[in-house]
Amino acid sequence: MNKYLLIVVVLLAIIVASIDAKKERKQRKSQLNTDEIAVKSATDTAAANEVVKQDQCLKLKCDAGKECVIDTESGKAKCQCISTCADNTDVRRRVCSNHNTTWQSDCHLYKHRCDCIEGQKSSDCDDKHKHMHIDYYGECQELPECRKEVLEDFPRRMREWLDHIISKKVETSGTGDDGSDHSKKWIDAIIWKFCDLDKQPHDRQVSRHELFPLRAPLLSMESCISDFLNGCDPNDDHKITLVEWGECLGATDAEMVDKCNKFHSIKEN
């Protein structure tokens, strides 16, 4: 009798253990499902946030050194200082500031300026950093002095360079020969460049700020670019008109016809 009782007890123990193990497996599976749902939900939320961000940020233009983010409280897009700039080891992407300091890239320079303005980085900041901008591309270096004969020849070289660029553009766009006087093609080229620089705002005047895309890439290679551009603003009001631009490149007032609407429409096509 005792022997049968022992067998029954052992069997009962096995059954109870099996039920417990089954329960545990069920609980573990349920927990796993809950975790998976939580992860999926978090992923979906992140993806949805990214879509919202992309959508809202398309409409928001941030200044240099800033990036668009979604404000966690309002849910709206806003500009804030760039959080991180990618490390740059390419010396060609380095920039020299107007304070003669070399920065890893334009991103690093403008991020630092933004951090200083926003007070996010008290160390390494002084007032001049709040107004820092790129003077030219490449590492800072001792720039060669502008020689008189190079400056005198500069307008001719600039005309030829612009003429070459616009000829390439016409070739690429397929607009072909419009029957205009070829000997005066350089006039169209310099008018085109003026319209191209006059962007922010489109007010038929080129400010010092608008000259930046022309000046910065050339400064380390062309010793006379600054003197040349200064000469295009004889009344020193920091704005170059179409006629002033023409005069400094050797065109007469009458030749400087405003064709910006035409050139802008070519660009947009």
Cα distance between residue 54 and residue 74, in whole Å: 16
Nearer to Ca ion, 82 or 256 (CB): 256
CB of 203 to Ca ion, least distance (A): 4
Kindly state the smallest distance separating residue 87's Cβ from Ca ion, in Å: 36
CB of residue 49 to Ca ion, shortest distance in Å:
38
Instruction: State the SS3 of the chain.
Output: CHHHHHHHHHHHHHHHHHHHHHHHHHHHHHHHHHHHHHHHHHHHHHHHHHHHHHHHHHCCCCCCCEEEEECCCCCCEEEEECCCCCCCCCHHHCEEECCCCEECCHHHHHHHHHHHHHCCCCCCCCHHHHHCCEEEECCCCCCCCCCHHHHHHHHHHHHHHHHHHHHHHHHHHCCCCCCCCHHHHHHHHHHHHHHHHCCCCCCCEEEHHHHHHHHHHHCCCCCCHHHHHHHCCCCCCCEEEHHHHHHHHCCCCCCCCCCHHHHHHHHHC
- Closer by beta carbon to Ca ion, 196 or else 198: 198
Q: How far is the CB of 74 from Ca ion (least distance, A)?
A: 34
Q: Are 220 and 134 in contact (CB under 8 A)?
A: no
* Closer Cβ to Ca ion, 139 or 203, answer by number: 203
CB nearer to Ca ion: give 115 or 196.
196
Shortest Å, Cβ 200 to Ca ion: 7
Q: Contact 198/214 with Cβ under 8 angstroms?
A: no
For residue 138, what are the β-bridge partners? none
Give the residue closest to Ca ion by C-beta.
198
Residue 206 Cβ, how far from Ca ion at the closest point, in Å? 6
Whether 232 and 248 have beta carbons less than 8 Å apart is answered as yes
Q: Which CB sits closer to Ca ion, 53 or 239?
A: 239
Nearest to Ca ion of 205, 220 (CB atom): 205
Q: Which C-beta is closer to Ca ion: that of 36 or that of 203?
A: 203
Shortest distance (Å) from residue 222 CB to Ca ion: 23
Q: Which residues bind Ca ion (CB under 5 A)?
A: 198, 203, 205
